[in-house]
Structure 1
């Protein structure tokens, strides 16, 4: 996945996922922008190009990771309305 990316491509994608994760955390998790930014940096730390499986977290999108953080494991069972990203989230790209 990210193994084939240039450094610039990886960093751009990383920043995008952080931005989307923070947005979900604010919108659905009810946290402040500052808290959401910290949460996004913790969820999506920078990984050097030498790290094995760099970017593995990208196998699921930020929506999924944020919903897991907010609602926990199996959020899709208790909150089926969040199985798919909202149109607002999709519009972020």
Structure 2
């Protein structure tokens, strides 16, 4: 996918907000810990990075659930397989 720098930055910030929201509400992180985790998981990638934005192939909900519950979260916690409606208001 090709996007402008502004589009990339907007999407990056949105995914960071969503990831932090999940880490805080479902992972028990403080707001600061959640922001730090989001920055770590979603670092800025320069526009010439070969796989820039590859992390966007799954939404932040999925990545945060993996960090909190592991790779079997959808099986062991089926209620968490899909984000709740309020998640859509975060990004």
Same fold (TM over 0.5): yes
Q: 1:48 aligns with which of 46, 49, 63?
A: 46
Question: Which residue pairs with 2:61 in the alignment?
Answer: 63
In structure 1, distance between residues paired with 2:21 and 2:82: 15
Question: Which residue pairs with 1:36 in the alignment?
Answer: 34
Residue ranges of structure 2 left out of the alignment (5+ in a row): none
After superposing on structure 2, the runs of 4+ consecutive aligned residues of structure 1 that deviate more than 3 Å are: none
In structure 2, distance between residues paired with 1:73 and 1:83: 11
Contact 2:21 2:90 (8 Å CA) reproduced? no
**2:38 is the counterpart of 1:13:** no
Residue deviations 1:30-77, cap 9 Å, x none? Answer: 110000000000000000001001000000000000000000111101
Question: Which residue pairs with 1:85 in the alignment?
Answer: 83
TM-score (normalised: structure 1): 0.95
Residue ranges of structure 1 left out of the alignment (5+ in a row): none
TM-score (normalised: structure 2): 0.97
